Amino acid sequence: MKTKLITPVIAAITLLLGATAMASVGHGKEDIGQPGVASEVTRTVDVEMGDIFFKTKSIDVKPGETVRFVLHNKGALLHEFNIGQAAAHAAHQKEMASMFQNGTLTPTGTGKMWGNMGHSMGGMKMVGMEHNDPNSVLIEPGATKELIWTFNNTTGLQFACNVPGHYQSGMVGQFDLK
């Protein structure tokens, strides 16, 4: 009886791991770089965010550079730091809106399912929904988190908050490739 249950579970895990390995960062649409390794960090950039703003509007980066972003949420609302291109941000905004609609997330970050989700690099998971892309981190009000990223030569990269309405209100900035 245990074998009958274990086999489908192992098959499901194998399928999930295979799908995850095949998907590229940024919702499978773009190659925007990859998660960085702390020992390869060449510099640290502090990013202050508040309710509907990033203190900086552009950040210079070089291809191959590994940057540690220290993200300070000085506001009273949940915010996100997400690296991607405009089209990926638009797709992610729809996912975030669904998470707010079903109560997974609230304006301050503590939805009804919050306590049941795994937290890794600011990520959250629940059946059918997840917020655990390596190019993105959620920062609760008053919190500070980090994201380490190695950039490639992709142009048109933005950093953005995709919490519903925040991007549209100006919580977006550019990475300037130098």
137 part of a folded domain? yes
Q: Judge whether residue 91 has pLDDT over 90.
A: yes
152 part of a folded domain? yes
Burial readout 92-113 (b: 16 or more C-beta within 10 A, e: otherwise): bbeebeebbeeebbeeebebeb
Q: Judge whether residue 58 has pLDDT over 80.
A: yes
pTM for the predicted model, two decimal places: 0.75
130 part of a folded domain? yes
Q: Could you give phi then psi for residue 20, rounded to 5 degrees?
A: -65, -40
Percentage of the chain lying above the pLDDT 90 cut: 60
Q: What is the DSSP letter of 55?
A: S
Give the closest residue to 166 by CA, choosing from 39, 61, 75.
75
pLDDT tens for 123-145 read: 444 434 456 789 999 999 999 99
22 part of a folded domain? no
Mean pLDDT of the chain: 79
- Distance in angstroms (rounded) separating the CA atoms of residues 129 and 93: 13
Q: What is the CATH number of the domain that holds 134?
A: 2.60.40.420
63 part of a folded domain? yes
By three-state DSSP, how is residue 50 classified? strand
Percentage of the chain lying above the pLDDT 70 cut: 70
12 part of a folded domain? no
pLDDT tens for 63-73 read: 999 999 999 99
Q: Are 25 and 33 in contact (CB under 8 A)?
A: yes
Host domain of residue 73: 27-177
pLDDT attached to residue 35: 96
**In the chain, how many domains are there?**
1
Confidence of residue 26 (pLDDT cuts 50, 70, 90): very low
8 part of a folded domain? no
Q: Are 124 and 135 in contact (CB under 8 A)?
A: no
Q: Most distant CA pair in the chain: distance in Å?
A: 60
Q: Judge whether residue 83 has pLDDT over 70.
A: yes
Contacts within 8 Å (CB) and 24+ apart, 99-106: 99/129, 99/131, 100/163, 100/164, 102/129, 104/129, 105/78, 105/131, 105/138, 105/163, 106/78
5 part of a folded domain? no
